[in-house]
A and B are shown apart, each in its own frame.
Chain A
Amino acid sequence: MGPQIFRKTSELFLPAASCPRYKDLMPHDLARAALTGLLHRTSVPKEVTDYIIFGTVIQEVKTSNVAREAALGAGFSDKTPAHTVTMACISANQAMTTGVGLIASGQCDVVVAGGVELMSDVPIRHSRKMRKLMLDLNKAKSVGQRLSLISKFRLNFLAPELPAVAEFSTSETMGHSADRLAAAFAVSRLEQDEYALRSHSLAKKAQDEGLLSDVVPFKVPGKDTVTKDNGIRPSSLEQMAKLKPAFIRPYGTVTAANSSFLTDGASAMLIMAEEKALAMGYKPKAYLRDFIYVSQDPKDQLLLGPTYATPKVLEKAGLTMNDIDAFEFHEAFSGQILANFKAMDSDWFAQNYMGRKTKVGLPPLEKFNNWGGSLSLGHPFGATGCRLVMAAANRLRKEGGQYGLVAACAAGGQGHAMIVEAYPK
């Protein structure tokens, strides 16, 4: 086991949902809010922070190092370096583990890690032809050159280029891949709807009981204050059954109701070396005990990261499934979660694709995503990782367990798992 890595409180913020009032914001605004929320909750002195790392997926070109812009805006010392990482839906996980690495290697003692995603406004580019024309115009010296360039302009140059929603290597959207994955594991539409309903019901219950304490209220400039996630909508199976498939039409099984929804959001977390935290008088919340990254075929196994990562991280940490008290898996789609369950429960899959003798084993459902998940709480790509870890830590505290396991899949066929251990009281 590596050096004891300690993570003090995280207190991330996550007013979810892509509501119209966010559209005037920029990503660093949300990230900054997460940072100030963190400062407020932990009352960590700004100047002791050695480093700041943020994860994000769709980059705003004006703030390509969004971590730095947010940190400056939040009042951190301009002497504190910050960088931004990206790894699709596990970007925040990458931010955390990068921080862990900095602490483990003795570079830093105090790191703030987080993630941000603003889906209400995404960079839409001019077409390649238009960009080329504009760049050439910039370089043109004489009026004649400019005119001849302008004469090359065609109306179709104005067609905009949207950020890609499809996997670059396969040109397949994630929902489409999830539908095929569900079919490959023979996951039915009803099973998916039932699982989605469970997620929404549990999230609603957790929200009502005030368990989602990691949320920081966010005052939208000139508008209302957002105080809670607004995507939690427990419905009925009958209502859900009425929806048409969203990706594979007309016979697919993945619908809007059993998929995670894209939202705006940011998260932040304070990670410290244990001695440092104790020396500063903090009461630690949990250890980030161990972690692993995996990757596999981005076409047919795009979303199977948790299946591959779970046994590896357990083995690495010297634990078994039975040791885990709280599972927090990223719910990209109901079908994805259930396909992962079936894969983990299959000897055949373990033997033929994972090089294992026996199956991974199924996480017990009663310990699984008990406070809802991305299906109900929303999925701001770059920020979700911290939310998962936070939920695991808070659940361990609340429910009295020792180990939590966080796992997530990501575009590119990648995956991540992390072991969280409750700090002894």
Chain B
Amino acid sequence: MVACRAIGILGRFSAFRILRSRGYICRNFTESSALLTRTHINYGVKGDVAIIRINSPNSKVNTLSKELHSEFVEVMNEIWASDQIRSAVLISSKPGCFIAGADINMLAACKTPQEVTQISQEAQRTLEKLEKSTKPVVAAISGSCLGGGLELAVSCQYRIAIKDRKTVLGTPEVLLGILPGAGGTQRLPKMVGVPAAFDMMLTGRNIRADRAKKMGLVDQLVEPLGPGLKPPEERTIEYLEEVAITFAKGLADKKISPKRDKGLVEKLTAYAMTIPFVRQQVYKKVEEKVRKQTKGLYPAPLKIIDVVKTGIEQGSDAGYLSESQKFGELAMTKESKALMGLYHGQVLCKKNKFGAPQKDVKHLAILGAGLMGAGIAQVSVDKGLKTILKDATLTGLGRGQQQVFKGLNDKVKKKALTSFERDSIFSNLTGQLDYQGFEKADMVIEAVFEDLSLKHRVLKEVEAVIPDHCVFASNTSALPISEIAAVSKRPEKVIGMHYFSPVDKMQLLEIITTEKTSKDTSASAVAVGLKQGKVIIVVKDGPGFYTTRCLAPMMSEVIRILQEGVDPKKLDSLTTSFGFPVGAATLVDEVGVDVAKHVAEDLGKAFGERFGGGNPELLTQMVSKGFLGRKSGKGFYIYQEGVKSKNLNSDMDNILASLKIPPKSEVSSDEDIQFRLVTRFVNEAVMCLQEGILATPAEGDIGAVFGLGFPPCLGGPFRFVDLYGAQKLVDRLKKYEAAYGKQFTPCQLLADHANSPNKKFYQ
């Protein structure tokens, strides 16, 4: 199985998850009939408290758009002008969402940095006025309060949040390559302290309500309510509003102070930050860390540091100005466009384009309790699927069960689950050695060893015991599904579900349909994947499908580069500095040398010379010496339990020396080495689109970034072609073609794009 560990940058993309849509019905609470003309915001008055309700029409989430902004300004002006109103509560009518952030399309529509800067400045002015409001405004937060939504909330005088899992606060702008542009960079350091503010803004992480309370980001928590005389969600929001009203009144009457008691540590930190020398050290440390992690490939984090620094050192006027200008600059960068493209792609890949399946999968069976099988089990029981985990041996099964338990228990340690929830989730798992209970299975996912005859055997065994409607999914990284399905009595029920390792961390699921796979089978597989929390691309069957097929030529090039005498460490640093989260040599070790060899042989046979380059003998020799990568403790590197720093495996020197080939100086500069790897990847990806393996470029980009660790800052192979220029890429390919031949011949679709500059994968 192709196992890619994408850590670091890629891991941070999980923050996108919260932006996924939730199935809530929008309701419109309106009390004051005179104000119904507004579409996003309305307000009513209870006693002397104005209740401002945000509810963007025809959307599951509220976003800060131009319309919402201008309506908010109108409403606030009326509230400030009214004699009757003494305080206000700001609340969303959508249960799962306060405000999910700024409207990305609004930014995307801007043509110049100045336009974006202007948007930022308008927002800054509004929020500054709100911050200085003499009538206290209480933000009552239920659901996601992110980006611009959080900036709005922190400008209010008081914040009350629901303490549930849906309520998260954060500044995910950095993940889109921009910065909090509505005063967030200036207010957050004052509110939560400089170090915590940096952490929020530079990681973009989601902060749960209870944590936010501890940090000082919210002032009060409200526990979610259970059923009463109304649905729980509805009553909880109502209760939040009631509590917020009492606090709004208390603030207006000066019975409650908006100031928070700070803890000792907080006080000490605040004091330390008043010392210029300490501040300089903090900036320096943070900047160093950012540079190390981003390799200078992401401009947003550095600008965030810069803007915060400007605000603190030169006063807030300078800070606000700097924030709006840098916001404008960042929104126009390639990196930002790439990251926003990924965001859109991810939203797309969180939908089931096949519609709802006829029958919901409730009982799942997994064959093989290896790393993959157990991983799939973990993400399934987690979501309430009754899961059978079957293995051939008790030892294998025990290992798999332990893996699932450990995965859940780690969540308990991180306080994401209670031990009780862990136990109750774990009871969804049944470990067994036989086919008992398979008669109830709605879907079987096999994750047995990658061997066609073995897969055939289990398919036949399973088909003898499962009900007619049951889907058979194969978790394979390279074996064509149609070949597996060849022995099936019901090939329309056979599909490929290619998970990535570690399954609980990697978000991608590649679903492979054959000519015969029915639409309902596809709908079922996507529905299960979505339930498991995956981002899903659906591709056509073929050797290596999409992901493995793109990776293979790059891996072949990795071998050639190593044969040419580039040290694995140097190769790793070249690839990571290009933006890959894991170095190329390390990747081979992580995937497993035997697996890489297996894939290289299979795909080599299928695609011939185009997949050539490096000598597969290198992998063969490594396998024969037992250098299988991380799992065997030795690969290109030596892996020891508890030892973090990796040392090169000196036993590899002989193998590498025996297979050494002379490098070609004209294509061996550092940059050329990077591009030799990337162009082969990109060329193959474009070919997959050309051949119809891929349905859309967006799926290609999501697959490459989330499954293979393609640099997120480049946005995926297709976005990269658009932003870098097809012509320039073709030129590079031709240069390498001259040196090495066919492996670098640009595919037709790429050549077409180069020939007509107007052609783009994303219009």
* Residues of chain B within 8 A of A185, CB atoms compared: 228-229
Instruction: Among A185, A251, A352, find the residue whose CB has the most chain B CB atoms closer than 10 A.
Output: A251
From B420, which residue of chain A is reached at the shortest CB distance? A169
Binary A-proximity of B443-469 (CB < 8 A = 1, otherwise 0): 000000000000000000000000000
Say whether B232 contacts A348, CB under 8 Å: no
* Residues of chain A within 8 A of B230, CB atoms compared: 348
* Residues of chain A within 8 A of B226, CB atoms compared: 180-181, 184, 297, 299-301
| Contact among B223, B231, B246, B418 for A180, CB-based, below 8 A | B223
Q: How far is the CB of B260 from chain A (nearest CB, A)?
A: 14
Binary B-proximity of A167-202 (CB < 8 A = 1, otherwise 0): 011110000100011011110000000000000000
**In whole angstroms, how far apart are the Cα atoms of A52 and B243 in the complex?**
51
Whether B239 is near chain A, meaning CB under 8 Å from some CB there, is: yes
Say whether B232 contacts A300, CB under 8 Å: yes
Q: Which residues of chain A from 247 to 266 have any CB-CB distance to chain B below 8 Å in the complex?
A: 248, 251
Say whether A339 contacts B228, CB under 8 Å: yes
Whether B235 is near chain A, meaning CB under 8 Å from some CB there, is: yes
Instruction: Among B225, B229, B232, find the residue whose CB has the most chain A CB atoms closer than 10 A.
Output: B229
Q: How far is the CB of A415 from chain B (nearest CB, A)?
A: 15
Q: How far is the CB of B732 from chain A (nearest CB, A)?
A: 59
| Contact among B239, B247, B418 for A183, CB-based, below 8 A | B239
Say whether A348 contacts B229, CB under 8 Å: yes
Whether A346 is near chain B, meaning CB under 8 Å from some CB there, is: yes
Whether B276 is near chain A, meaning CB under 8 Å from some CB there, is: no
Residue tally, chain A, CB below 8 Å to B: 25
* Residues of chain A within 8 A of B225, CB atoms compared: 180, 183-184, 300
| Contact among B223, B227, B235, B420 for A248, CB-based, below 8 A | B223
From B223, which residue of chain A is reached at the shortest CB distance? A180
* Residues of chain A within 8 A of B227, CB atoms compared: 184, 300-301, 349, 352-353
**In whole angstroms, how far apart are the Cα atoms of A342 and B232 in the complex?**
15
Say whether B418 contacts A346, CB under 8 Å: no
* Residues of chain B within 8 A of A301, CB atoms compared: 226-227
Say whether B246 contacts A251, CB under 8 Å: yes
From A247, which residue of chain B is reached at the shortest CB distance? B223
* Residues of chain B within 8 A of A352, CB atoms compared: 227, 231
**In whole angstroms, how far apart are the Cα atoms of A169 and B229 in the complex?**
25
Instruction: Among A186, A248, A348, find the residue whose CB has the most chain B CB atoms closer than 10 A.
Output: A186
Say whether B243 contacts A349, CB under 8 Å: no
Q: Which residues of chain A from 265 to 312 have any CB-CB distance to chain B below 8 Å in the complex?
A: 297, 299-301
From B220, which residue of chain A is reached at the shortest CB distance? A251
Given A180-B223, A248-B223, decide whether A171 and B228 contact each other with a Cβ distance below 8 A.
no
* Residues of chain A within 8 A of B239, CB atoms compared: 183-184
Given A180-B223, A248-B223, decide whether A349 and B418 contact each other with a Cβ distance below 8 A.
no
| Contact among B228, B243, B418, B420 for A342, CB-based, below 8 A | B228
From A176, which residue of chain B is reached at the shortest CB distance? B223
How many residues of B sit at the interface, in one of the four size bands? 10 to 19
* Residues of chain B within 8 A of A171, CB atoms compared: 418, 420
Q: How far is the CB of A248 from chain B (nearest CB, A)?
A: 7
* Residues of chain B within 8 A of A251, CB atoms compared: 220, 243, 246-247
Q: Which residues of chain B from 202 to 231 have any CB-CB distance to chain A below 8 Å in the complex?
A: 220, 223, 225-231
**In whole angstroms, how far apart are the Cα atoms of A353 and B247 in the complex?**
33
* Residues of chain B within 8 A of A349, CB atoms compared: 227-229
* Residues of chain A within 8 A of B231, CB atoms compared: 352
* Residues of chain B within 8 A of A348, CB atoms compared: 229-230
Q: How far is the CB of B254 from chain A (nearest CB, A)?
A: 16
**In whole angstroms, how far apart are the Cα atoms of A343 and B235 in the complex?**
14
Given A170-B420, A171-B418, decide whether A184 and B228 contact each other with a Cβ distance below 8 A.
yes
Q: Which residues of chain B from 222 to 260 have any CB-CB distance to chain A below 8 Å in the complex?
A: 223, 225-232, 235, 239, 243, 246-247
* Residues of chain B within 8 A of A183, CB atoms compared: 225, 228, 239
* Residues of chain B within 8 A of A176, CB atoms compared: 223
Say whether B243 contacts A346, CB under 8 Å: no
From B235, which residue of chain A is reached at the shortest CB distance? A184
From B256, which residue of chain A is reached at the shortest CB distance? A250
Say whether A342 contacts B229, CB under 8 Å: yes
From B423, which residue of chain A is reached at the shortest CB distance? A169
**In whole angstroms, how far apart are the Cα atoms of A353 and B227 in the complex?**
8
From B226, which residue of chain A is reached at the shortest CB distance? A300
* Residues of chain B within 8 A of A346, CB atoms compared: 229
**In whole angstroms, how far apart are the Cα atoms of A299 and B421 in the complex?**
12
**In whole angstroms, how far apart are the Cα atoms of A183 and B162 in the complex?**
14
* Residues of chain A within 8 A of B220, CB atoms compared: 251
**In whole angstroms, how far apart are the Cα atoms of A116 and B231 in the complex?**
39
Q: Which residues of chain A from 316 to 358 have any CB-CB distance to chain B below 8 Å in the complex?
A: 339, 342-343, 346, 348-349, 352-353
* Residues of chain B within 8 A of A170, CB atoms compared: 418, 420
**In whole angstroms, how far apart are the Cα atoms of A352 and B234 in the complex?**
14
Q: Which residues of chain B from 241 to 290 have any CB-CB distance to chain A below 8 Å in the complex?
A: 243, 246-247
Q: Which residues of chain A from 20 to 53 have any CB-CB distance to chain B below 8 Å in the complex?
A: none
Q: How far is the CB of B685 from chain A (nearest CB, A)?
A: 48
* Residues of chain B within 8 A of A342, CB atoms compared: 228-229
Binary A-proximity of B15-55 (CB < 8 A = 1, otherwise 0): 00000000000000000000000000000000000000000
* Residues of chain B within 8 A of A181, CB atoms compared: 226, 228
Q: How far is the CB of B570 from chain A (nearest CB, A)?
A: 47
Given A168-B420, A251-B243, A251-B246, decide whether A186 and B229 contact each other with a Cβ distance below 8 A.
yes
**In whole angstroms, how far apart are the Cα atoms of A186 and B232 in the complex?**
12
From A352, which residue of chain B is reached at the shortest CB distance? B227
**In whole angstroms, how far apart are the Cα atoms of A180 and B239 in the complex?**
10
Q: How far is the CB of A136 from chain B (nearest CB, A)?
A: 24
Q: How far is the CB of B231 from chain A (nearest CB, A)?
A: 8
**In whole angstroms, how far apart are the Cα atoms of A183 and B420 in the complex?**
25
From B160, which residue of chain A is reached at the shortest CB distance? A251
**In whole angstroms, how far apart are the Cα atoms of A180 and B235 in the complex?**
11
**In whole angstroms, how far apart are the Cα atoms of A348 and B235 in the complex?**
13
* Residues of chain A within 8 A of B418, CB atoms compared: 170-171
**In whole angstroms, how far apart are the Cα atoms of A57 and B220 in the complex?**
35
* Residues of chain B within 8 A of A168, CB atoms compared: 420
* Residues of chain B within 8 A of A248, CB atoms compared: 223
Instruction: Among B220, B230, B235, find the residue whose CB has the most chain A CB atoms closer than 10 A.
Output: B230
Q: How far is the CB of A389 from chain B (nearest CB, A)?
A: 29
**In whole angstroms, how far apart are the Cα atoms of A47 and B513 in the complex?**
79
Q: How far is the CB of A335 from chain B (nearest CB, A)?
A: 12
* Residues of chain B within 8 A of A343, CB atoms compared: 228-229
**In whole angstroms, how far apart are the Cα atoms of A181 and B418 in the complex?**
22
* Residues of chain B within 8 A of A339, CB atoms compared: 228
From B239, which residue of chain A is reached at the shortest CB distance? A183
Q: Which residues of chain A from 152 to 178 have any CB-CB distance to chain B below 8 Å in the complex?
A: 168-171, 176
Q: How far is the CB of B142 from chain A (nearest CB, A)?
A: 14
Q: How far is the CB of B354 from chain A (nearest CB, A)?
A: 32
From A172, which residue of chain B is reached at the shortest CB distance? B223
Say whether B232 contacts A184, CB under 8 Å: yes
Binary A-proximity of B414-441 (CB < 8 A = 1, otherwise 0): 0000101000000000000000000000
* Residues of chain A within 8 A of B229, CB atoms compared: 184-186, 342-343, 346, 348-349
Q: How far is the CB of A188 from chain B (nearest CB, A)?
A: 10
From B231, which residue of chain A is reached at the shortest CB distance? A352
**In whole angstroms, how far apart are the Cα atoms of A214 and B228 in the complex?**
37
Q: How far is the CB of A83 from chain B (nearest CB, A)?
A: 28
From A299, which residue of chain B is reached at the shortest CB distance? B226
Q: How far is the CB of B411 from chain A (nearest CB, A)?
A: 15
**In whole angstroms, how far apart are the Cα atoms of A248 and B220 in the complex?**
11
Complex A-B: 7 CB contacts under 8 Å: A170-B418, A181-B228, A185-B229, A248-B223, A339-B228, A342-B228, A343-B228
Chain A interface residues (CB < 8 Å from chain B): 168-171, 176, 180-181, 183-186, 248, 251, 297, 299-301, 339, 342-343, 346, 348-349, 352-353
Given contacts A168-B420, A184-B232, A185-B228, 18 further A-B contacts (CB under 8 A): A169-B420, A170-B418, A171-B418, A184-B239, A185-B229, A186-B228, A186-B229, A251-B220, A251-B246, A251-B247, A297-B226, A299-B226, A301-B227, A339-B228, A342-B228, A346-B229, A349-B227, A352-B227
| 3 A-B pairs closest in CB distance | A300-B226, A184-B228, A184-B225
